[in-house]
Amino acid sequence: MKEITIYTDGSSRGNPGPGGYGTVMIYKQFKKELGEGFRRTTNNRMELLAAIKGLEAIKEPGWNVLIYSDSKYVVDAVEKGWLFDWEKKHFKGKKNEDLWRKFLHEYRKHKVRFHWVKGHAGNPGNERCDEIATQCADGSDLKSDHGYEAYERAGME
């Protein structure tokens, strides 16, 4: 089975505020970097989106995927099984349902494990993701986080 390592990080300038994600994918000697910025979002959404975008970039199912993240929100939700309980309860009362559903769709295509890393502690992959995420958050061509903005309009945030 093929194995890939993915580093992820999210950033927001204010919570909510402008935000971005950074993803670094490593397969053998190949490396791919991904990132985007959004006008108004949250840090948790960007942390989760970083993982989603990494998984979406894997074009065929059945990979062993190791995701490094400094987000306890994302890592614990998956590794401690909370996400699957939330899904059984149709995400009642949970934030970011749109992204969690996207995550589950991609997650189920592979064998995914998470490894939590302390943020800003010198892990090169995590540090690079942080650079990408903050550069994207600070960019001038920011996209709309439609999911977050819909939550806001509905008064759910």
Identify the active-site residue in 3, 33, 105, 120: 120
- Count up the domains in the chain and report the number: 1
The overall pTM is greater than 0.85: yes
Would residue 79 count as lying in a domain? yes
**At 73, which CATH number?**
3.30.420.10
Would residue 59 count as lying in a domain? yes
Would residue 157 count as lying in a domain? no
- Per the annotation, the verdict on 9 as an active-site residue is yes
Beta pairing partners, 12: 19
Identify the active-site residue in 70, 106, 145, 147: 70
Pairing of strands 30-41, 17-27: antiparallel
Identify the active-site residue in 20, 35, 125, 130: 130
- Per the annotation, the verdict on 70 as an active-site residue is yes
Q: What residue numbers bound the domain in which 52 lies?
A: 3-152
Sequential DSSP letters for 89-153: TTTTT-S-HHHHHHHHHHHTTSEEEEEE--TTSS-HHHHHHHHHHHHHHT-SSPBP-HHHHHHHH
Q: Please tell me the predicted confidence (pLDDT) of residue 148.
A: 94
Q: Please tell me the predicted confidence (pLDDT) of residue 157.
A: 59
Would residue 13 count as lying in a domain? yes
Ranges of residues in the chain whose predicted pLDDT is under 50: none
Identify the active-site residue in 10, 20, 35, 125: 10
Cβ atoms of residues 110 and 65 within 8 Å: yes
Q: Please tell me the predicted confidence (pLDDT) of residue 153.
A: 84
Would residue 21 count as lying in a domain? yes
Would residue 121 count as lying in a domain? yes
- Per the annotation, the verdict on 130 as an active-site residue is yes
Identify the active-site residue in 20, 35, 47, 147: 47
Cβ atoms of residues 66 and 79 within 8 Å: no
Would residue 124 count as lying in a domain? yes
Would residue 100 count as lying in a domain? yes
- Rounded Cα distance between 62 and 80, Å, is 22
54-94, pLDDT tens digit by residue?
999 999 999 999 999 999 999 999 999 999 999 999 999 89
- Per the annotation, the verdict on 146 as an active-site residue is no
